[in-house]
Amino acid sequence: MSKPLKQIHLAAHFPGVNNTTVWSDPEAGSHIEFSSFAHFARTAERAKFDFLFLAEGLRLREQGGKIYDLDVVGRPDTFTVLAALAAVTEHLGLTGTINSTFNEPYEVARQFASLDHLSGGRAAWNVVTSWDAFTGENFRRGGFLPKDERYSRAQEFLTTANELFDSWRGDEIVADAATGTFLRDARAGAFTHQGQHFDIQGQFNVPRSPQGRPVIFQAGDSDEGREFAASSADAIFSRYATREEGRAFYTDVKDRLARYGRDRDQLLILPAASFVLGDTDAEAAELAHEVRRSQVSGATAIKHLEFVWNRDLSAYDPEGPLPDIEPDLGEHTIARGRAQVRMYRDPLATVREWRELAAANKWSIRDLVIETGNRQNFIGSPATVAATIDDFVQADAADGFILVPHITPGGLDAFADRVVPLLQERGVYRTEYTGTTLRDHLGLTEPAEVPAPVTAPATAPVPADR
């Protein structure tokens, strides 16, 4: 007897500040106007996606001491745009990255609870922590937080927020006009939290929302991050969108769930993935090549190398060979506000590897950046892409994907029109929403109680921002 087919989960990431949007394309629209977000969200809902996702960044990135100007720059406020999107959609989940370093639990909890009320139970929170004092310069708290405490603050932040979400049971409002009893319990929302980072008490002022708590996403990859996700998250945004890497990550994380008394289907693994569609596989491959050339200009390639060299390389020719000077191994100062920089923790090894690759393939600087930085995942005809996604999910490389188009706001349209029907024909993707809340879409049950603290809360349970 064959195994029943797994149902695929799909979500859409509206790219914010980023280097993959081909903004020079005549089809590329505004990344700020609400009409773009509304179009994108409606397409995702037409395609029966689980949710729309927005990342966050709280300081404009800099390189060489100046604001970085080669990528899409500027984005709206996450909560505000998600609340507005709740007005133009009915089912689509609304997921936002909200930083736990430069916010306070009471405020964030009331914003998520409000969003959950105003969307009829469609809110989700990607919990992240900030990773440098650079961002702190925009906030009251500044850079006060010692580096090694940011993760413990994030953990305690989530614990505290859950205490606030749970401070109303959900039956306190009786609103009996005849007797004049509005609240059954005068102490509804009462809480006290005393911890290393938060010492707060009082009454939470948003009654329990449709989902009780927002769905919790996590985006980390470290051992602690995986442990945190296994204990406390409903879904992971993983970076492993290839079949074999995905399978390894999937197995590892799902095996950890039992430790926390959770089933394997209580944590979804959703890698971010890009796609390029063509009428034929060959046409898609050609188009994908063009997209990569558009994403990586010569100037962009030089700037990318500077992440590793930690030096000004503007004198180098992007169509020429790699710099022959060695990277600056001092404190990393050339690029600020960048997550990518952490991918190159051993610059000497990266430089050595890149030089070998460039020599073997006769690559210029730009060729190298295009080839090594390639993050395109699904390239092909709609049939090929549908079959590949289905195969990856059935093979337990993922439970689904968060799709990031290279054009906004229309980059999702072709996927909705041409790939989704094929997945539906295969019987692996919903043809209608069967529930109303994001928890319904994800097949998650409402959390019964605050999860037990993670065993090693002092180390990184939550990843940096994305």
Task: Check binding of 461 to another protein (CB under 8 A).
Answer: no
Token pair, residue 238, equals 């993983």
Could you say which of 181, 314, 361, 374 contacts another protein (CB under 8 A)? 181
Q: Indicate the annotated binding residues for FMN.
A: 97, 151, 222
Closest-CA residue to 433 (of 84, 87, 83, 92): 92
For residues 263-302, which are near another protein according to CB under 8 A? Answer: 297-300
Q: Which is nearer to another protein, 99 or 231 (CB)?
A: 99
Please state, in angstroms and rounded to a whole number, the distance separating the CA atoms of residues 277 and 414. Answer: 8
Q: Say whether residue 171 binds another protein (CB under 8 A).
A: no
> Nearest Cα to 60, choosing from 138, 143, 127?
138
Work out whether the CA dihedral 405, 406, 411, 417 comes out positive or negative: negative
The neighbouring-strand residues paired with 192 are 201
Nearest to 461 by CA among 116, 287, 284, 226: 226
Q: Could you say whether residue 72 binds another protein (CB under 8 A)?
A: yes
- The reply on whether position 313 binds another protein by CB under 8 A is no
Cβ contact 19:71 at 8 Å: yes
Q: Contact at 8 Å (CB) between 54 and 237?
A: no
Q: Which is nearer to another protein, 41 or 233 (CB)?
A: 41
Task: Supply the minimum distance, in Å, between the C-beta of residue 74 and another protein.
Answer: 5
| Residue 65 in contact with another protein, rule: CB under 8 A | no
Provide, rounded to whole angstroms, the least separation between the CB of residue 317 and another protein: 15
Neighbours of 87 (CB within 10 A): 11
Is residue 29 a contact point for another protein (CB under 8 A)?
A: no
Shortest distance, position 199 Cβ to another protein, whole Å? 5
What string of DSSP letters covers 271-305? -EEEEEE-SSHHHHHHHHHHHHHHHS-HHHHHHHH
**Are the CB atoms for 453 and 461 separated by under 8 Å?**
no
Candidates 6, 46, 132, 173; binder of another protein (CB under 8 A) is 173
Task: List the one residue out of 158, 118, 73 whose CA is nearest residue 337.
Answer: 73
257 forms part of the interface with another protein (CB under 8 A) = no
* Alpha carbon separation from 224 to 96, 364, 452, 454 (Å, rounded): 22, 38, 15, 9
Residue type, 430: R
Alpha-carbon separation of residue 149 from 141, 159, 331 (angstroms): 14, 15, 20
Q: Is 463 in the site for another protein (CB under 8 A)?
A: no
Compute the least distance from the CB of residue 403 to another protein, in Å: 22
Q: Which of 6, 7, 70, 459 binds another protein (CB under 8 A)?
A: 70
Q: Work out whether 152 is an interface residue with another protein (CB under 8 A).
A: no
Q: Which of 5, 169, 203, 252 binds another protein (CB under 8 A)?
A: 203
Intra-chain end-to-end CA distance of the chain, in Å: 42
For residue 30, what are its two tokens? 């505004």
Which one of the spans 168-176, 273-281, 355-363, 406-414 is the region binding another protein (CB under 8 A)? 168-176
Residue-by-residue DSSP string for 243-257: HHHHHHHHHHHHHHG
Residue 196 interacting with another protein (CB under 8 A): no
Segment near another protein (CB under 8 A), from 2-10, 187-195, 378-386, 455-463? 187-195
Region 96-135 residues binding another protein, contact defined as CB under 8 A: 102-104, 106-107, 110-111, 113-115, 117-120
Q: Choose which of 5, 27, 74, 196 interacts with another protein (CB under 8 A).
A: 74
Considering only residues 206 to 225 of the shown chain, the ones binding another protein according to CB under 8 A are 206-207
Residues annotated within the binding site are 97, 151, 222
> Which of 137, 148, 223, 319 lies at the binding interface for another protein (CB under 8 A)?
137
Site for another protein in 40-59 (CB under 8 A): 57-59
| Least gap, CB of 428 to another protein (angstroms) | 33
